[in-house]
Amino acid sequence: MMLEGIRVLEIAQNLAGPMAAEILAHLGADVVKIERPEGDDARRWGPPFWKGVSPGFLAVNANKRSITVDLKDKASVAWVVELAGQADVLVQNLRPGALDELGLGPTTLIEHYPRLIYCSVWAFGARGPLKLKPGYEPMVQAFSGLMMMNGDEGGPPTRIGTSILDYGTGMWAAMGTLAALVRRERTGRGGVVDASLFETGLAWLKGHHASFRASGAVPERHRTGSNRVVPFQAFETKTGPLIVAAGNDRLFAKLAGVLGHPEWVKDPRFVTNAARVEHRAMLCAMIDEIFATRPKGEWIDRLEADGVPCAVINSLPDAAAHAQTAALDMIQPMPGDDFALVALPLSFDGRRPRIHRAPPAIGQHNPSRDRPARWPEG
């Protein structure tokens, strides 16, 4: 594995920090998770529960070991400091300033251990007036602008239906950590990596920000569609909706042919994407009327035969059970249990990293607290 031999100390809870450490674990790093004696808060986020543990916890804690530590105890904190000296990476997302107060902040630890890479996951960022403001996913979806850009035209702001900022920030944090490891290989020194939910939210809207800068107008919401490409959205058929994505003039010409209107290609209102965006309402109403005449399966066959990108709108169970999901080995069994988890969405040399260790029970790998502190084996 790519990160074999790399040790990661995780002092994190909930989703974003554990997600970052789990990515590193999937890539082969040895991740030891430090938890309070009562465990990560996310263990209790339910129902539902699987054998008393929240599925939300299981989803981001595979391939790790768990050690419980009472950080209110000075001797235990000293023990963690010693353990950090044996790690290559420390990932943390506790309350802003909490670890600094305990002597576990980046300045202190990197002074003692200059090769350490210290990765912090924040709500609003490592600098600025909101640095110490705590935050959870829905708060930052709202604050970053994501909610205002999501939902139906004219409808209320809508939360994106997954923890996209937690998971995305974990991804950015892991990516930054990997870059810091490469730099350390070259220079011999560690450093600080910072990521935040707010910065991730702004990054996910980078296209919208660019459009706003170019036009001065706030991009409109289009439910399943795009503010820059037409037609590029869901249309209703006799048996339910399907997505059609005619992303350029060539594909629009093919779509027009499938729909029985090849003359649209020469219509000044539709001849370019810019014209189609201007006449979006008219064009999409015409397309809707045609799609409503036949069942979804028939339209998919016709569209795919002519090379027009399209897709059904799957439910979560449908997507999980699809043959493509199985072919990619994206759902993997949790070792030692009748449960399955989504795997790392990366492959190397044609192989996807395996889930080799189930998410740990609280303190499952507690070692003896004899001095000096020793990195757990096995």
What are the catalytic residues? 166
Give CA angle at 168 (164, 171), nearest 5°.
Answer: 155
**Dihedral sign computed on CA atoms, order 101, 102, 108, 109:** negative
Three-state SS for 83?
Answer: helix
Q: Is the peptide bond before 48 cis (omega within 30 degrees of 0)?
A: yes
Distance CA 223, CA 233 (A): 8
- Joined tokens for residue 229: 């490409």
Q: Which residue has the tokens 């607290």?
A: 369
Three-state SS for 203?
Answer: helix
Distance CA 56, CA 244 (A): 33
Long-range own/partner contacts, residues 209-212 (CB < 8 A, 24 or more apart): none
Residue 68: strand pairing partners = 35
240 sits in which H/E element: strand 240-245
From the list 63, 65, 59, the residue with the least C-alpha distance to 163 is: 59
Distance CA 289, CA 237 (A): 9
From the list 175, 33, 192, 195, the residue with the least C-alpha distance to 114 is: 192
Distance CA 268, CA 213 (A): 28
Spatial contact of 21 and 10, defined as CB atoms under 8 Å apart = yes
- Joined tokens for residue 167: 């998971």
**Dihedral sign computed on CA atoms, order 46, 49, 53, 58:** negative
Spatial contact of 116 and 174, defined as CB atoms under 8 Å apart = no
